[in-house]
């Protein structure tokens, strides 16, 4: 990850990025770079590295800026503003986000669910999250054509 992107993200999160996340981006799992999202094995829905776990630091900066632009209302009508310390690392493709807590208060990976406006714990660590992605999408890879 370039120093400019790192500085932008740390400014947005008002915290130092977790070392394991920086390591993950610097050594992005090659198998996730070529895994497609579509069940039919086509690239019609893009790649996992473009959605669920963003591989491009510039896109990580952009999505983190986007979530901090304004507020949303929860089902009770209360305003919700994105917590500064939560770093978006990807999305579901359905309006929900995957994130990590830069303060370490919530270890692992959380999923922000936009309809109920709540966070759900989904993985104990980034490594477990990568394993979940591989398990979920590995059957969709273009290897099926071989």
Structure confidence by residue, pLDDT tens digits, 12-24 = 999 999 999 999 9
Pairwise CA distance, residues 55 & 1, whole Å: 10
pLDDT tens, 34-82? 888 888 888 888 899 999 999 999 999 999 999 999 898 889 999 999 9
Buried b / exposed e along 21-42 (16+ C-beta atoms within 10 A): beebbeebbebbeebbbeeeee
Calculate the CA dihedral of residues 48, 50, 54, 55 and round it to 10 degrees. Answer: 100
Whether residue 133 has pLDDT greater than 80: yes
Domain boundaries, the chain: 3-140
The HSE-up count of residue 125 (CA atoms within 13 Å, CB side) is 7
Share of residues in the chain with pLDDT > 90 (%): 72
Pairwise CA distance, residues 21 & 110, whole Å: 14
Count of residues in the chain: 146
pTM listed for this prediction: 0.90
Pick the CATH number of 3-140 from 1.10.3470, 3.40.1580, 3.30.70, 3.40.50: 3.40.1580
CA torsion through residues 119, 124, 130, 132, sign = negative
């Amino acid at each position: 990850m370039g120093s400019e992107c790192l500085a932008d993200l740390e400014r947005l999160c008002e915290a130092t990025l977790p070392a394991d996340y920086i390591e993950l981006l610097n050594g992005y799992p090659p198998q996730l770079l070529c895994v497609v999202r579509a069940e039919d094995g086509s690239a019609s829905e893009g790649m996992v590295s473009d959605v669920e776990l963003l591989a491009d630091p510039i896109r990580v900066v952009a999505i983190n800026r986007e979530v901090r632009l304004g507020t949303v209302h929860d089902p009770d009508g209360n305003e919700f503003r994105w917590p500064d310390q939560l770093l978006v690392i990807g999305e579901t493709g359905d309006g929900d986000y995957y994130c990590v807590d830069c303060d370490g208060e919530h270890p692992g990976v959380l999923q922000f669910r936009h309809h109920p406006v709540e966070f759900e714990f989904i993985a104990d660590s980034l490594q477990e999250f990568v394993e979940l992605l591989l398990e979920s999408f590995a059957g969709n890879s273009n290897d099926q054509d071989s």
